């Protein structure tokens, strides 16, 4: 699989991950290069150079790798197995531990903005009821209606929040509620695309959550959209690029 997608010399962006597999907050991205294929799931990469010095990747550490290939952008996570030196250059052997996922460039672009949303947490009870309803696992119409009524109760507790950046694949927002990585959410957002105002309700998963040091009682959450319909993703991407064009026009008019 790796040889089918990657090639010698491909540029790599490296992002550190914590032990739970989430990106380390405020960590910088390093640049590397694919040097060799060692095994089916092991590659050799150049240790990144930072300010003229080689940064040796720590054995046992986890990183996210984004490969710039002739077939597009691909990303996956890895663990560092070993370090070695050849011809005065330092390299690391890493094992790719997730499937390589193709990243759409438009989906990858993040737009900084302030935009109101409403969201709520999806509980396990709600998920089980929703699965039961979709599978139509009822012995009577009364039981089905009771399931619908119970599900409707979950749809009442929405929280107002402010998005601070958004892409076709996820968003970052502030709220007064604390959440945990892995929590599932429903997000309601309105965007203007052309002359239309479009209302969307999106599924999302908390990737990281932090307390904001300079804003008491507020938390910063980073989410990944899940099970998003292609039409909704396309509308999000159109909204982002239309807003970006508006900002550029305003800057030129100044």
Tokens describing residue 115:
């935009």
Assigned CATH topology for domain 107-253: Thrombin, subunit H (2.40.10)
Mean pLDDT across 203-226: 85
Of the chain, the percentage scoring pLDDT greater than 90 comes to: 30
For the domain 2-103, what is the CATH superfamily, name and number?
Electron Transport, Fmn-binding Protein; Chain A (2.30.110.10)
Q: Quick one: CA torsion of 96, 97, 98, 103, rounded to 10 degrees?
A: -30
Q: What is the pLDDT of residues 42-84, one digit of tens each?
A: 999 999 988 778 899 999 999 999 898 888 888 889 999 999 9
- Both tokens assigned to 189: 């957002």
pLDDT given for residue 63 in this prediction: 93
201-to-158, 187, 220, 236, 238 alpha-carbon distances in Å: 12, 5, 20, 12, 17
Mean local confidence (pLDDT), 210-237: 85
Q: Does pLDDT of 106 surpass 60?
A: no
List of residues 6+ apart from 213 with CB closer than 8 A: none
Q: Is 185 left (phi over 0), alpha (psi -120 to 50) or beta?
A: beta
Chain centre to alpha carbon of residue 169: 6
The mean predicted confidence, pLDDT, of the chain is 86
pLDDT, residue 104, reads: 63
Rg (CA), the chain: 22
Say how far apart CA 61 and CA 39 lie, in whole Å. Answer: 19
Query: Can 2-103 and 107-253 be said to share one CATH topology?
Result: no
60 by Cβ neighbours in 10 Å (0-12 / 13-18 / 19+) ranks as: exposed
> In this predicted structure, what is the pLDDT of residue 50?
80
- Give the pair of three-digit tokens for residue 36: 């060799």
pLDDT greater than 90 at residue 133: no
Question: How many Cα atoms are found within 13 Å in the side-chain-facing hemisphere of 63?
Answer: 29
Which has the minimum average pLDDT: 125-129, 198-202, 243-247? Answer: 243-247
Q: How far is CA 157 from the centre of its chain?
A: 25
* Domain boundaries along the sequence of the chain: 2-103, 107-253
Mean pLDDT confidence for 14-24: 81
Are 166 and 240 in contact by the 8 Å Cβ rule? The answer is yes
CB 190 within 8 A of CB 198: yes
What is the pLDDT at residue 59?
Answer: 95
Burial class (CB in 10 A: 0-12, 13-18, 19+), 9: exposed
d(C-alpha 84, C-alpha 93), whole Å: 8
Q: What is the spatial distance between Cα 129 and Cα 147, in angstroms, rounded to a whole number?
A: 7
In DSSP terms, which residues pair with 116 in a beta bridge?
Answer: 162
In angstroms, how far is the first alpha carbon of the chain from the final one?
A: 51
């Amino acid at each position: 699989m790796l040889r089918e997608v990657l090639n010698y010399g491909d540029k790599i962006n490296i992002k550190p991950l914590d032990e739970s597999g989430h990106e380390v907050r405020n960590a910088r991205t390093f640049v590397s290069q694919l040097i060799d294929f060692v095994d089916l799931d092991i590659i050799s990469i150049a240790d990144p150079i930072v300010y003229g010095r080689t940064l040796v990747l720590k054995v046992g550490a986890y990183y996210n790798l984004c490969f710039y290939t002739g077939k597009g952008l691909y990303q996956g996570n890895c663990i560092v197995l070993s370090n070695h030196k050849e011809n005065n250059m330092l390299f690391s052997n890493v094992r790719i531990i997730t499937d390589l996922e193709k990243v759409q460039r438009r989906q990858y672009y993040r737009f900084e903005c302030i935009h109101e949303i409403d969201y709520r947490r999806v509980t396990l009870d709600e998920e089980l009821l929703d699965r039961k309803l979709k599978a139509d696992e009822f012995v009577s119409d009364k039981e089905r209606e009771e399931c619908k009524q119970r599900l409707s109760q979950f749809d009442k507790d929405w929280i107002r929040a402010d998005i601070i950046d958004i892409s076709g694949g996820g968003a970052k927002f502030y709220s007064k509620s604390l959440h945990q990585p892995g929590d599932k959410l429903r997000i309601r957002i309105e965007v203007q695309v052309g002359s239309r105002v479009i209302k969307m309700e999106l599924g999302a998963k908390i990737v990281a959550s932090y307390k904001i040091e300079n804003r008491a009682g507020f938390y910063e959450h980073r989410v990944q959209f899940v099970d998003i319909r292609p039409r909704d993703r396309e509308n999000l991407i159109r909204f982002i690029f239309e807003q970006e064009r508006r900002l550029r026009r305003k800057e030129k008019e100044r």
